[in-house]
Amino acid sequence: METVRKDDLYALRMIQSNLESCILGKRKEIQLLLTALLAGGHVLLEDVPGTGKTVLIKALAKSIRGQFRRIQCNPDLLPTDITGVSIYHPKDEVFMFRPGPVMTNILLADEINRATTKTQSALLEAMEERHITVDGECRDLPKPFLLLATQNPIDFEGTYVLPEAQLDRFMMKFSLGYPDEDTEKQMITSQSVAHPLDSLEPAASIDQILNLQQKVKETHLDDAVATYLVQVVRQTREHPAVNLGASPRATLALVQASKAYALIQGRDYVIPDDIKYLAPYVLGHRIVLNAEARMEGMSTASVLQSIFQRTRVPVRLEK
């Protein structure tokens, strides 16, 4: 097996450095975002307003020289406002397709739970199939394509709960959260003259990202580690506190995320610790606890912790 190339690692480190200069004190969350990008997945950010979600995704698009579009979701948003629409030109007597914001590399769907269920469903085809269908014609999305959707966990007035089918399309769900006191002071200083985003320089190209995504597919997953991963996912369906466990799509998502995270760490193989680290972010939003477990104060995190405690970790003894 070949080790990860130094130039690939350098590009990843430069992208990470760019993002960390714009969003201070959030190295873990930035690595999770890069993991989703390299794994070809989508991210749901559940966070309060003003924590830097938009800045983070803009910095990512600028760092990889990618196109960026933003959708402000609201009840008036129509599916064609996302996918695009064909417009009739009387002079030429033809219909011309006007692409919507989904035809981009990085798409931010802000407050996705404020859009109606019909509009939310317009994103399902794009998220899963990487293409859209308008007027019966299928159109491929640009590569790479990353959807980052946000929702406010506090304000539920005028919102539409995301159905389980759509939640399952997101590879990861996490939040940025508030910065600590020292980081917030540092943020004041760093933005006293200009925002770091204004002077951000590209750190990689679209072709490099596509190459890294291919490297993720080639990352080695040992049979013993694969068995360990499958056992963890299957136990989410058999746990007595769980009403709905993780789907087979979740299994594949955890595989791809683990491979991408291993690559970011400079390895061309997955270890069990990668799976344990990523499971709360990949499986957490796919697990639905039963009423008894919720009344007892249990959480998906505690369920996953108990699963890992009783799942045997594969160990290879070297002579």
Q: Between β-strands 106-110 and 146-151, what pairing exists: parallel, antiparallel or unpaired?
A: parallel
Average pLDDT over residues 149-177: 81
User: Cβ–Cβ contacts within 10 Å for residue 146, how many?
Assistant: 24
**pLDDT interval class at 156 (50, 70, 90):** low
- Assess contact for 83 and 100: CB atoms under 8 A: yes
Q: Give the C-alpha separation, 160 to 166, whole Å.
A: 12
**pLDDT interval class at 158 (50, 70, 90):** low
Rounded to the nearest integer, the mean pLDDT of the chain is: 87
CB-side neighbour CA atoms (13 Å) of 2: 7
For residue range 189-216, what is the model confidence (pLDDT) as tens digits? 877 777 788 888 888 899 999 999 999 9
Average pLDDT over residues 48-56: 85
**Residue 197 backbone phi and psi in degrees, to 5:** -65, -30
**pLDDT interval class at 157 (50, 70, 90):** low
Q: Give the C-alpha separation, 162 to 170, whole Å.
A: 11
pLDDT at 10: 86
SS3 260: helix
pLDDT at 145: 94
Side chain identity at residue 204, one-letter code: A
Q: Give the C-alpha separation, 153 to 133, whole Å.
A: 32
Q: Between β-strands 131-134 and 137-140, what pairing exists: parallel, antiparallel or unpaired?
A: antiparallel
Average pLDDT over residues 292-314: 90
Burial 130-144 (b: 16+ CB within 10 A, else e): eebebeeeeeebeeb
Least confident of 150-159, 214-223, 302-311: 150-159
Whether the predicted pLDDT of 155 surpasses 90: no
Burial environment of residue 113 by CB neighbours within 10 A (0 to 12, 13 to 18, 19 or more)? buried
For residue range 58-67, what is the model confidence (pLDDT) as tens digits? 999 999 999 9
- Assess contact for 107 and 147: CB atoms under 8 A: yes
For residue range 84-127, what is the model confidence (pLDDT) as tens digits? 888 877 877 787 888 889 999 999 999 888 888 888 878 888 88
**pLDDT interval class at 316 (50, 70, 90):** low
